[in-house]
Amino acid sequence: MFRVLFALFIVVPIIEITVLMQVGELIGAWPTVAIVILSAWLGAKYVRQQGIATLQSVQTKMAQGEMPSGEIVTGLMLLVAGVLLVTPGFVTDIFGLLLLVPQVRKILASSVQKHIQTSQGNAFGASTHFHSSTFTQTSGHTYDNDVDEPETFTDKKTINHHKGETIDGDFQRKD
């Protein structure tokens, strides 16, 4: 990972400088600078607009009790787009502008989701262990477990550890 980041920090500026020099030769230095500044300003404006819309969508989903996972991915991509657009250069501006297109973001999000493996049996990807000395069911019955080793902290709270006991349960995921 370090090597990839190091290469990006070396290669991207070299590419940007080369492209800026070539564009500067074609249209002149001041028009090149003006285009870079204009693209940064327009990009920041559009990132702000889409970011506000995404934030409103997150708030709406949260108010409805839904997880705004798609909106979080969109927000992260907009953050990357903003950084790319503010970075001086044409190559980073092109990638930043591409991230502003909703269809491109959807394609990238779907390709990222294909690479992320999630467990269908458990939302956390592993078995969940509950450590407590009492479990109360909605019917009002109380089930006491034997406590192996209680552990007391300075604020007088007791934590009970159970060796090897797992409370198994079902859940329903609502996406």
pLDDT in tens, the chain (175 residues): 788 888 888 998 899 999 999 999 999 999 999 998 898 888 888 888 888 988 898 888 888 888 888 888 888 889 899 889 888 889 999 999 899 898 998 898 888 777 764 533 444 444 444 444 444 444 444 444 444 445 444 444 555 555 666 667 777 788 7
pLDDT at 103: 92
Reading the block at residue 111, the tokens are: 């390709």
pLDDT at 31: 94
What are the residues whose beta carbons fall under 8 Å from the beta carbon of 88, sequence distance 6 or more?
Answer: 16, 20, 36, 40
pLDDT at 134: 42
DSSP 60-83: HHHHTT---HHHHHHHHHHHHHHH
Reading the block at residue 156, the tokens are: 């007088």
pLDDT at 126: 45
Phi, psi dihedral angles at 15 (to 5 degrees): -65, -45
pLDDT at 2: 84
- Among residues 12, 9, 32, the alpha carbon closest in space to that of 20 is found at 32
Which stretches does DSSP call E strand in 36-167? 134-136, 142-144, 149-152, 158-161
Rounded-to-integer distance, Cα 58 and Cα 162, Å: 39
pLDDT at 32: 92
